[in-house]
Structure 1
Amino acid sequence: MDIHKMLAAMHLKPEFVTVLPDRLVKTGQDFILRCETNTERVNVTWMKKGQKLCCVEGKHKTEKNGTTVSLEIKNAEVGDEGNYTVTIQSSTGSDSCSAMVIIELEEWRTVQWMQAPMISTLKSFKISGENVRELRFLLYGPVGAGKSSIINTIKSIFEGHQFINCLTASAVTGESFTKKFEKYNVGNVPFTFYDVMGLEKDKLKGVHTEDIISALKGHVPNDYTFKECAPIDEDNRYYILKPTLNDQIHCLVSVIPADKISMMDEEVIQKMKEIRAAASKLGIPQVLFMTRVDQVCTMTQQDVAKIYQSKKIKDKMMECSNRLGVPLNCIFPVKNYSEEIKSDEKLSCLMLEAFTQIVHSANDFVKKNSNEKKRVE
């Protein structure tokens, strides 16, 4: 290099010519983060999740070879997931670039990724309880959790076209469109969903916990309009005084958005716990659907079939479990039809897997209570 080029290089502000690429890495795999700079005369610093990377011998290897800087990580594991930043610096300035490393876990829960056999099984399903015409599922959760979208998605799967008649909460106003105790049948199968207005932290806003508990017991009629001023009681002329097993809810489905669980108000969480406690006393099975999974995990957003290989999804399921006290095997991450206008088999299969679980849970409840009623008689 002649003296003029050397002087120019000494006064060159360091910049990246290429940047770090995001990486999806399987557990146990070695990988390298590499990028190019415009000058060799730089000091290099690596950071992970905003903290200086503490290199471990045999695990990390940093290198600067000419204008190439790199970080090699051996035997990828869960703890290696995160945002990595490399900074180059000299007396003339500095530059940084970052990449997200996502660790793909071994599949920890399996899903049948063919919807036809699942739909066929559900369409031929026979309820085990006498005089029970349909299995009833009640969806509840905070405003905007995706309760109505779940109903739209399941109806879309069974009816073969996009179903959008069940209005969803406004993302702009945060207000629930659901004002009544609304009933939604699913195709030609004996399954019925009930939608209620969302829970809110204010005592006088959203649905009352007492109304949901009354609905679980079968006291609330179809199309009953909830009143924010007072929950339904025996003095209400619409109140079902002596509900049958067919009037009751057979499975309670909590709905929590994966991207909002950390921000959920403690008052709303407490309301959900009260409702769950009441359901437990009644022996009603409970399941949690965790929605909006594509909003918290890039890997799942790109391929929903990898949902049970995602550390982020597993962490969010753990968070739901810890905050609401729901066992992990009763939590099902799902994605609703939202932007899609055509059927997506993987999305449908994920929902059908969760739906099949609540069908069996509800049927077990009906069978048990039908048998108990026979013994009493």
Structure 2
Amino acid sequence: MGSLLSKAEFATVLADQKVNFGDEIVLVCEAKTEDLTATWQKNGQKLDCVHDKHIVEKRGNLFSLRIKKADEQDEGMYTITLKDKQKDASCSAQVTVELKEWRKVEWNQDIMIRELRDFNIRREEVEQLNFLLYGPVGAGKSSVINTIKTIFERRLYINCLAAEGSTSQTIYYKKCEVGNSKDGFLPFIFNDIMGVEEGDQSGVHTDDIISALKGHVKEGYPFNPNSPLTELNHYYLKNPSISDRIHCLVCVIQADKISMMDEDTIQKMQRVREEAKKIALPHVILMTRVDTTCEMTKKDLRSVYKSKRINKKMEECRVALGVQKSCIFPVKNYYEEKDIKEDINCLMLDALTKIVHWADDYVAEYSS
């Protein structure tokens, strides 16, 4: 119910409104007496009525404001003030405009888990699809792996060390399988690397990321920010096969930190993006921490594709790294949870099913 500042002249007050993008907003109140004048405000300022957009009406004791085709700009606190010769009274209501869901998610984890377990790579000699995770320190690369392993292990999995501070915890090139010997391993591997950091003396060297993309880096390679891998190093694989190459580049970025990324880090990531484009490698973004970025998503993860804030963050990702929006996936990693949550699983699985198919397309195209 909207807030009431003085109820002396109101029979009913304005009620808070939550409408979908494009719908009509209707605010109505009733006065106890006649012969009153009304003024409308939005967020404490006089409402500027736009022709064919705002319709202000008075019918007897009823006062109404209709706003056609609601959009983001129509959100706010609306106040009506009724006046006569002696006094005035006001009441207010909050209007929230929700986006219609612009992307559908399968909120049944069993369907997607079964699809991924039964997935077959089209090129027989490639036994596993290789995904390279990269991004700023603390973005959640290792946590993404933990979350995916949690889904398929059906228990909380925390084996991959996640960065808590400003320094990367991943110091070696590490391959992480998904599954186990009892239930079987899935046909893909996640390759974890040191985080991208500002400056030339810290974080993964950009040349090492590019070498990994092309399959030149062997597992166990110790990252050196000051000196990238060379052909003389025994961790360098000179003639990688299609099975050794990366089949999809996965950038992991925190949704609530996109606007705070320094220019040096962005440029490093853009360089990696350009190298991936040269070899036609699929490039996607996993945008983590959607629950801390948006209050709506925090309350209900299934509202992620209705959230204007998440949509805005996806657009910021697109602009910063040049990845089209259809390749950007908002996700939530397991962090403080003590129990497995199907909504967390489904959001990650929705991204994973699409990424696996795109990686397989790359393998098939590479063999033609």
After TM superposition, is the score higher than 0.5?
A: yes
Q: Could you say if the C-alpha distance between residues 218 and 318 of structure 1 is closer, same or farther in structure 2, counting changes exceeding 3 Å?
A: same
Deviation at 1:161, TM superposition (A): 0.5
Aligned match of 2:235: 238
SS of 1:272's equivalent? helix
- Which runs of 5 or more structure 1 residues have no equivalent in the other structure? 1-13, 36-42, 64-69, 89-95, 373-377
Give the 5 Å matches for 1:314-333.
Answer: 314-333=311-330
- Superposed CA deviations along residues 251-303 of structure 1, whole A, max 9, x for unmatched, are 00111221111121111111111101111112221111111222232222222
Q: Which residue of 2 aligns with 1:108?
A: 102
Shift of residue 31 of structure 1? Answer: 4.5
Q: What is the letter of the counterpart of residue 190 of structure 2? A: F
1:74 to 67, 75, 81: 67
Task: Specify the code of the residue in structure 2 equivalent to 1:227.
Answer: N
Confirm or deny: 8 A CA contact 1:84 1:101 kept in the other structure: no
Whole-Å separation in 1 of the counterparts to 2:286 and 2:45:
35
8 Å CA contact retained: 2:17, 2:93: no
Q: Deviations over 1:53-86 (max 9, x none)?
A: 53436655789xxxxxx99552352233545386
**SS where residue 133 of structure 2 aligns?**
strand
Partner of 1:358: helix, strand, or coil?
helix
Separation of aligned partners in 2, 1:316 and 1:21:
31
Q: Go from structure 1 to structure 2 and tell me whether the alpha carbon gap of 1:243 and 1:21 turns closer, same or farther (over 3 Å shift).
A: farther
The answer as to 2:77 corresponding to 1:84 is yes
CA contact 2:22–2:71 (8 Å) conserved in 1: no
Alignment match of 1:186 (pick from 178, 181, 188): 178
Pair 1:201 & 2:198 matched: yes
Against the structure 1 CA distance between its residues 33 and 272, is the aligned structure 2 distance closer, same or farther, given a 3 Å change threshold? farther
Shift of 1:21: 8.7
Equivalent positions of 1:216-295 (< 5 A) are: 216-295=213-292
Match of 1:278, SS state, is helix
- Give the length in aligned residue pairs: 345
- Whether the 8 Å CA contact 2:70–2:97 is kept in 1: the answer is no
2:299 paired with 1:302 = yes
Matching residue within 201, 212, 217 for 1:215: 212
Preserved contact between residue 72 and residue 97 of structure 2 (Cα < 8 Å): no
Check 1:355–1:242 CA distance in 2 against 1; reply closer, same or farther (3 A cut). same
Q: Does the 8 Å contact 2:21/2:72 carry over to 1? A: no
Distance in 2 of aligned mates of 1:51 and 1:178: 52
Q: 1:86 to 1:261 in 2, by over 3 A?
A: farther
Classify the secondary structure of the residue corresponding to 1:184.
strand
Shift in Å, 1:345 = 1.6
Identity of aligned residues (%): 48
2:358 matched to 1:361? Answer: yes
**What amino acid sits opposite 1:117 in the alignment?**
I
Measured after TM superposition, the shift of residue 350 of structure 1 is 1.3
